[in-house]
Structure 1
Amino acid sequence: MLILQNISYQHENKDMLFQNIGFTLNNHDKTALVGNNGVGKSTLLKIIAGELQPFSGQIIQNAKPYFVPQLFGQFNDLTIAEALQIKEKTASLKEILEGVVTEENLQLLDDDWTIEERCNEALSYWQLHDLDLNQKMETLSGGQKTKVFLAGIMIHEPDLVLLDEPSNHLDFAGRTLLYDFIKSTSITLLIVSHDRTLLNILNKTLEMTKNEISVYGGGYDFYSEQKKVENNALEQDVQSKEKALKKAKEKERESIERQNKLDSRGKKKQEKSGVARIMMNTLRNKAENSSSKIKDVHAEKISGISEDLRQLRSSLPAIDQMKFGFNNTSFLKGKTLFKASEINYSYGEKDLWNESLSFEILSGDRLVIKGLNGSGKTTLIKIILGELNPTKGQITSLAKKAIYIDQDYSLLNQNLKIYEQAEIFNDSGLEEHDIKMRLNRFLFSRNDWDKPCNALSGGERMRLMLCCLTISDEASEIIILDEPTNNLDIQNIEILTAAINEYQGTLIVISHDQSFLEQINIGKSISL
């Protein structure tokens, strides 16, 4: 069992990341932890794992958890055995089996006589047959590093496992293994992920915000339906407040007009009756004070309603606040944009693909490029973009403009500020206020325009990239997305999905996120 009570975490600069949050995990629970980017999900996992200390609060757990992190660069200088913290045990077992039965070796082994067998079984399950435990982590791909730490679960046999975006670097085969493992294991799991297929395997969902963790029974689809109900209620509250604000402003106007008429009548009456000037001034001051009080009462009421409305609107999902506005007028559906006939590419003397490729890309197509890690997906993209020529076969390219967007949004200049970056894409001569209006559409307010691009989260970079595409005068006939959901939370995946579904040009995607592929209506595939 895991219990968190009133946990808070403060950055070194004294900014509070989250405060007074808590939840309980029961034995054998399989639980998702979801929330917007930057809310502190990964930090919370590190606190539970003991890698970070909370600012305040208490953690009650009956066993040390096993943690699979999202990033592995810190392990590059270690061997696989060192990264998994099994080097001393495996080395001691080897020496004991060779006859070196010392007290030190026996203590290090700690009666764990099946450690080698579990290592072999774990590496075999995660399809890492060819790896040596003495191999350096830096020699492995991202997917292999993830699998190494997933193998550590079987090796260490913990009661509680913390997983931070475990499917990020896995191909389809690796994800299938992960899903099967999660379904079959009885270990207690707490998983941070945006992979909706994975999230639907789990039996409980925790939604994390800065100030609380809300519990939803069931997987992601159940959670999503519950959120829709809550958001519909929130939208109705917004509309109700908008009506109340409009009514309050009308009442203010009517009251002021009525008071002005009364004051005007009173003044005329007083002038006709010959009231002394000093008395007239006194009566005028009283009338002005009365009007001022009426204005103050209404202003206070309007201010209160406006603040309530602002808070309600800020609680709306970002996608409900956004407007995309892609220019789709120049696309001629069905036009041939790219044709490949028996193409291949060779590094040295060996062809990259066992069978040469022949395919056609039409305007309006939505296709996915499938293949295992190292199968040549990036090479094919470069051929489509005209950055490489095939060493065999023929290609015909008729697309006027194609744009490649990788998972790090490298098209954005990290040294520029947000407004400066938007200006780079302004090839149609938009006025400054038009650019700023587009930025506002994508939730970049006046306070964000001078923020440097290198300070943006993955979701913010994605929104800025989409904004820049709408600013550009010449719409891209082909947009190529390379693992676009890897660094996004669920809310930003929904924003990206909505934007893509509004775009009517040709879309080429490399992705292992099956839910995402279904939602953007992929109709064709190229398998490598």
Structure 2
Amino acid sequence: MLVLQNITYIHSNKDVLFANIYLTLNKHEHIALIGNNGVGKSTLLQLMAGQLEPCEGSIVSDFTPYYIPQITGQFNACTIAEALQVNDKLDALKCILAGEGTEEQLNILADDWVIEERCLEALRYWGLEKFDFTQKMETLSGGEKTKVFLAGIMIHKPDIILMDEPSNHLDIESREKLYAFIESTSSALAIVSHDRMLLNLLNTICELHKDGITVYGGNYGFYTEQKRIENTALNLDIKNKERTLRKAKEVERETMERQQKLDARGKKKQEKSGLPTISMKTFKNNAEKSTARTKDIHAEKIQSVSTELSQLRNELPDADKMKFCFDQSWLHKGKVLISAKGINVCFEAQLLWKDAANVELLSGERVVIKGRNGSGKTTLVKILLGEMQPYAGTVKTIIGKAIYIDQEYSLINNSMNVYEQAQAFNDTGLQEHEIKTRLNRFLFTKNYWDKTCSALSGGEKMRLLLCCLTILNQAPDIIVLDEPTNNLDIQNIEILTQAINAYEGSLLVISHDIYFMEQIRVERTIELI
């Protein structure tokens, strides 16, 4: 069991990241930690792992958790054995078997005579058998580093496992192994992830926000259904409040019109009665005060309803606040955009693909490129877009405009600020206020306009790029997405999904995220071997 009681974490600049966190991870329980980027999911996991200390509260655990980090750069100088924390045991075993063992080395080994076999088996299971224990972590790819730490589970057999985005950079085969482990293990699990396939394997969803955690007793599908119900109720509240506001304004108008008619009639009656001027002024002042009071009463009610409506609208999911307005009138489904025949690539005197690739892409099609890490998926995209020439074969294309969204969002110029970047896509002559309106629609408020693009998170760059596409106005012939969900939280994945589903042109996707591919309605697969 691992128990968090009243946990608060404050940044060094005194900003509170989160507070009042209560959470219990019971034996054999499998939970997910979700929440928007920046809410502190990774920090909370590090607190649970004992790598950080809370500013307030306490963390109690029956066992030492095994922690798999999302960011692994700090291990680059380590060997694989050091990263797995088995180097001392392996060194001790080697010395003992060579007849040079000491009592200290016997204590280090602690009768774990099969440690080497267990390590080799774990590396082999995760497809890392080609690596030696002494190999530096910096020589491994992102996916291979993650698999090293996943191999550590088989080696250490921990009772509590904490994982931070474990499926990032894993190919489909490795993801399936991870999913199978999650379904079968009796260890307690706490996982931070945006992988919806993975989240559906966990029986409790814990949504982290600044003031605590909301626990949903079910998998991600149950969580999304609960959210849908909450959002339906919220939208109904908004509609009712809008109706109340319209009615309040209508009553105010009718009341003021009626009051003005009464005042006019009263004035005429007073003029006909021949009252002294001083009395006329008194009646006039009284009438004006009465009108002002009536107006204030209605204004106060309208302001109160407007404030409540604004608060309700602020509770809407961010994806619901955005509107996508591509001009797609010139896209014609069914025509051949790309025709590639017999293409291949040569690296170090060796062909990349066993069989030459033949690819035809029609306008309006949604196609995914699959293959293991290193199979040449990005290389194929570059050839199809004309950014790279094939070693063999021919490519014919009639693409007028292509948008390639890679993992680094290279279309975003990091030297520009947010407004300048939006303006760079303004080839239809939109006015400044129109551009700023669209930036606001994509959650880039006034505070963002002068912020440099280099300071934006991956999710913010993705949103800015989508905003720029609506400013560009004319929909491209094809949008290419290269591992688009790797560094996005669930909120931004949903925003991207909604944007892509509003697009009617051709879509070419490189992704291992099966759930995402289902959501964007991929129709066909190109498999690279």
TMscore range, shorter length: over 0.9
How do 1:29-44 residues align onto structure 2 when only pairs under 5 Å count? Answer: 29-44=29-44
Judge which range, 392-401 or 274-283, deviates more: 274-283
Unpaired runs of 5+ residues, structure 1, are none
Instruction: Give the match for residue 382 of structure 2.
Output: 382
Instruction: Give the match for residue 227 of structure 2.
Output: 227
Q: Aligned-pair distance for 1:45?
A: 0.7
Give the Cα separation in 2 of the matches to 1:243 and 1:286. 34
Give the TM-score normalised by structure 1.
Answer: 0.96
| 1:119-158 CA distance string (max 9 Å, x none) | 1222122121111111100000111000001111222222
Q: Is the 8 A contact 2:33 2:41 kept in 1?
A: yes
Q: Aligned-pair distance for 1:282?
A: 3.5
Q: Is the 8 A contact 1:324 1:442 kept in 2?
A: no
Aligned amino acid, residue 90 of structure 2: T
Equivalent pairs counted in the alignment come to: 528
| 1:432-484 CA distance string (max 9 Å, x none) | 22222322332323333223222322222111111111211543111110000
How do 1:132-143 residues align onto structure 2 when only pairs under 5 Å count? Answer: 132-143=132-143
- 1:340 paired to 2:340: yes
Instruction: Give the match for residue 203 of structure 2.
Output: 203
Give the Cα separation in 1 of the matches to 2:406 and 2:525. 19
Give the TM-score normalised by structure 2.
Answer: 0.96
Q: Is the 8 A contact 2:483 2:509 kept in 1?
A: yes
Q: Is the 8 A contact 1:248 1:302 kept in 2?
A: yes
SS in 2 for 1:225: helix
Q: Aligned-pair distance for 1:425?
A: 0.7
From the superposition, tell whether residues 274 and 142 of structure 1 become closer, same or farther in structure 2 (CA, over 3 Å): same
Give the Cα separation in 1 of the matches to 2:7 and 2:524. 48
Instruction: Give the match for residue 452 of structure 2.
Output: 452
Q: Aligned-pair distance for 1:251?
A: 2.1
Instruction: Give the match for residue 162 of structure 2.
Output: 162
From the superposition, tell whether residues 53 and 288 of structure 1 become closer, same or farther in structure 2 (CA, over 3 Å): farther
Instruction: Give the match for residue 152 of structure 2.
Output: 152
Give the Cα separation in 2 of the matches to 1:15 and 1:298. 40
Q: Is the 8 A contact 2:325 2:473 kept in 1?
A: no
Aligned amino acid, residue 75 of structure 1: F
How do 1:125-274 residues align onto structure 2 when only pairs under 5 Å count? Answer: 125-274=125-274
Instruction: Give the match for residue 426 of structure 1.
Output: 426
SS in 1 for 2:375: coil
From the superposition, tell whether residues 302 and 6 of structure 1 become closer, same or farther in structure 2 (CA, over 3 Å): farther
Give the superposed CA RMSD: 1.7
Aligned amino acid, residue 72 of structure 1: T
Instruction: Give the match for residue 486 of structure 1.
Output: 486
- 1:118 paired to 2:118: yes
Q: Percent identity?
A: 61
- 1:82 paired to 2:82: yes
Give the Cα separation in 2 of the matches to 1:373 and 1:66. 26
Q: Aligned-pair distance for 1:515?
A: 0.9
Give the Cα separation in 1 of the matches to 2:86 and 2:24. 31
Judge which range, 256-265 or 411-420, deviates more: 256-265
| 1:139-188 CA distance string (max 9 Å, x none) | 00111000001111222222111111110110011101101111111000
Give the Cα separation in 1 of the matches to 2:224 and 2:32. 13
Q: Is the 8 A contact 1:2 1:25 kept in 2?
A: yes
Instruction: Give the match for residue 27 of structure 1.
Output: 27
SS in 1 for 2:18: strand
Give the Cα separation in 1 of the matches to 2:23 and 2:522. 39
Give the Cα separation in 2 of the matches to 1:171 and 1:9. 35
Q: Aligned-pair distance for 1:357?
A: 0.8
| 1:389-431 CA distance string (max 9 Å, x none) | 1111111122112121112212101222211111111112222
Judge which range, 449-458 or 389-398, deviates more: 449-458
Q: Is the 8 A contact 2:425 2:468 kept in 1?
A: yes
SS in 2 for 1:226: helix
Q: Is the 8 A contact 2:326 2:473 kept in 1?
A: no
Judge which range, 302-311 or 415-424, deviates more: 302-311
| 1:48-95 CA distance string (max 9 Å, x none) | 112222222222222221111111111111111111222222211221
- 1:405 paired to 2:395: no
Unpaired runs of 5+ residues, structure 2, are none
Give the Cα separation in 1 of the matches to 2:114 and 2:249. 76
Q: Is the 8 A contact 2:115 2:155 kept in 1?
A: yes
- 1:2 paired to 2:8: no
Q: Is the 8 A contact 1:477 1:506 kept in 2?
A: yes
- 1:392 paired to 2:383: no
Q: Aligned-pair distance for 1:279?
A: 3.5
Give the Cα separation in 1 of the matches to 2:356 and 2:261. 87
Q: Is the 8 A contact 2:328 2:474 kept in 1?
A: no
Q: Is the 8 A contact 1:324 1:441 kept in 2?
A: no
